[in-house]
Structure 1
Amino acid sequence: MTSAYVRDNKNQPIKDVWTLEAADPFALGAGHVDPAAAMDPGLVYDLSPRDYIHVLCTLNYAAAKQIALLMDNHKISCPRSSNLVYAADIKYPSFSLHFNSTRIPKLVVRRREVTNVGATRSTYRVHVEEPSGMKISVQPETLEFTKKNQKLKFRVRFQSTITKANEDATTGEISWKCIRGGTHVVCSPVVVLWRGL
């Protein structure tokens, strides 16, 4: 997902086959698979089965037995502590947000963690393409890795800048561009759904 591309061989946005307009993430997903880039992605959002258990626990499943039904190991228990504040903080490489005027606050913070699988010493700087109606800030803006398989965390702050939406959904992207130790660009699509604004 993070190494997929969204431009064609003429450097134009890939088109939606139905509308012949630039495809959005609903039509395109994260983009077109680039097998060579996927073999050397630079950074990964490293998920394990345990992370999914944490998500289910965060969603307040009533009993560990319910979670165990989904896993091969029937001796599952929810951890006493978890890195997840919300289920949406899972180490997943995309961001999907739902804003409306009645239930969801106009400010949402999401947390992520990435693992360096590229050069031992590498530095990445964030680049943000904001969806319309949204202000996005990322902290820290630079990730500096000093070893392979090192994990670093970052927070993304999504702030609504509108009181009335003109579209049902807007899209953008958060990408980490390697500025030392390689040429990787690690992309995460952002989709914001506007309901009731």
Structure 2
Amino acid sequence: MVKMGLTTTVVGSSVLAPKIASFSSRGPSPFNSTILKPDVAAPGVNILAAINDGYEFRSGTSMSCPHVAGIAALLRSLHPNWSPAAIKSALVTTASITDEYGLPITAEGAPRKLADPFDYGGGHVSPNKAIDPGLIYDIDAADYFNWVNGSISDLNLPSISIPSLKTIVTVSRTVTNVGPVNSTYIATIQSPPGVKMDVTPSILIFNNTVTKHSFKITFSTIRRVQGDYTFGSLIWSDYKHLVKIPIAVRTVIQDFYADVSL
């Protein structure tokens, strides 16, 4: 028995959204796995777009990009002194990893699974929250120069990816306060499974004279295995702002990427 009918569109509270589409690009980055990709997720399925002299519903990264670019333009208009890195930081650290019901975002594919930072980076963009991120991870020209001539792990990105953790790795980050002048932020750690994380210092105090703080994150293996990526996060909170960065770590014994089981 085959039943056929007209196509229908389901909208409203009965639809679980957002989800990561099966065609969406996934991490880790094939060019440099020390930089976590993607950065964020944005609407990209069945988006009404201007095509030539008309309109069509289109899907793909080319639909997500205008959403993010538009949000970035609005943030720049509100914060004209923010750098592109600051705007990116605001988008990543305020992104959501749950849907409107508070359930974890899922990733479509074979099979469907709970999404992780290799699916959505920091999460699904939240424009209203990005207006007031509390703290930003900023980068200037000197930082990029030091990155070219130093360690990419310490580039001040709002994310951390460690593709080869043998024993202990320490990375540095710096945050700038763009919220209330007198603020105190406390670190909350969600360590990737199989990895121990320590943050020093774990409390950051800002005032009129102190607007930036640097800190170190030390990763150490709990069990020595040739593993795969596991995921965690670091959140700075002043009980008003939640400044979250995604973390991906892969523990290794030998310096080869592919694992072979006999």
Output the TM-score relative to the length of structure 2.
0.59
Equivalent residue letter for 2:144: Y
Residue of structure 2 equivalent to 1:90: 155
Map 1:54-93 onto structure 2 (within 5 A).
54-58=146-150, 86-93=151-158
In 2: Cα distance, 1:176 partner to 1:39 partner: 17
Pair member with larger Rg: 2
Q: How many pairs were matched up?
A: 162
Q: What SS does the aligned partner of 1:191 have? A: strand
Which residues in structure 2 correspond to 1:141-180 (within 5 Å)? 141-147=202-208, 150-165=211-226, 167-179=227-239
**What is the one-letter code of the residue matched to 1:97?**
I
Matching residue's letter, 2:113: E
Indicate whether 1:22 and 2:114 are aligned: yes
In 2, Cα distance between the equivalents of 1:105 and 1:196? 6
TM-superposed deviation, 1:123: 0.6
Tell me if structure 2 keeps the 8 A contact 1:118–1:148: no
Alpha-carbon deviation of 1:170? Answer: 0.3
Per the alignment, residue 77 of structure 1 pairs with none
Percent of paired sites with the same residue: 34
Deviation at 1:20, TM superposition (A): 2.5
1:49 corresponds to: 141
d(CA) in 2 for partners of 1:196 and 1:157? 18
Opposite residue 6 of structure 1, the aligned amino acid is I
Is 2:185 the partner of 1:128? no
1:6 to 94, 97, 112: 97
Native 8 Å contact 1:3 1:33 kept in 2: yes
The 8 Å contact of residues 236 and 242 in structure 2, kept in 1 or not, is answered as yes
Q: 1:110/1:195 Cα in 2 relative to 1: closer, same or farther (>3 Å)?
A: same
Measure, in 1, the Cα distance between the counterparts of 2:191 and 2:108. Answer: 25
For the residue of structure 2 that corresponds to 1:119, the secondary structure is coil
CA distance in 2, matches of 1:31, 1:87: 23
Displacement of 1:164: 1.9
1:191 matched to which residue of 2? 248
Unaligned runs of 5+ in 2: 1-91, 255-262
Report the Cα distance in structure 2 between the residues aligned to 1:168 and 1:196, rounded to whole angstroms: 11
Unpaired segments of 5 or more residues in structure 1?
59-85
The 8 Å contact of residues 120 and 148 in structure 1, kept in 2 or not, is answered as no
CA RMSD of aligned residues (A): 1.7
* Per-residue Cα deviation, 1:152-179 (whole angstroms, up to 9, x for no partner): 01111101111125x5110000110114
Q: Highest relative contact order (Cα 8 Å, sep 6+), 1 or 2?
A: 1
Counterparts of 1:125 and 1:46 in 2: how far apart (Å)?
19
2:126 partner letter? D
1:107 aligns with 2:150: no
CA contact 2:224–2:253 (8 Å) conserved in 1: no
Greater Cα offset, 104-113 or 126-135:
104-113
SS in 1 for 2:130: helix
How many Å separate the matches in 2 of 1:147 and 1:21?
46
